[in-house]
Amino acid sequence: MNKNRALLFVIIIAALSIIIPMLYLNSNPIPETKPIIDSADIAINLYRESWGNPVGMTMDYWFKVTISNRGTNALEGLTMNLIVINSSNQSYGWGMQPPEIGRIQSNKTSEVQLYILTGLTKSFDEVAGHNATVQLILKDKILDESSFALPTRAFG
């Protein structure tokens, strides 16, 4: 009878050693790793070597930004931020509402034409010849940024 009890005890211990870890793993699943779903690159295409004077007391500088969606989902609600730090360490932005970018499907590109508009005198002198940084933003997260030097001269 003692041999039967010992065998039953060994079987119960073996069964518990299999069941308990299974119960623990099912109650604490391993967290899934999420793929990168919001990923994009920007490239800046400069096609003017000088500032223009479109109307009256303003100066403008036009450029294009190409946005490539490398993520797995469509990107929607993208915005762009422009930062120009002048010699006084002051930041100059768009001077207007930042441009809103439309929906970009996964593995697609979109091109946006943008400009910097300044006054003819003071604000032009503050930004001409300095570096400009364009940031691509999605929900307060910077996805990418690129910098370029603004020309110092006006009128082609």
Whether the CB-CB separation of 69 and 75 falls below 8 Å is answered with yes
For the chain, residues with pLDDT lower than 70 are 1, 9-10, 14-38, 47-49, 87-100, 154-156
Q: What are the residue ranges spanned by the domains of the chain?
A: 40-149
Contacts of 132 (CB under 8 A, 6+ apart): 82, 83, 84, 116, 147, 148, 149, 150
For 102-140, the pLDDT digits (tens) are: 788 988 888 888 888 887 777 787 788 888 888 888 888
40-149: CATH topology is Immunoglobulin-like (2.60.40)
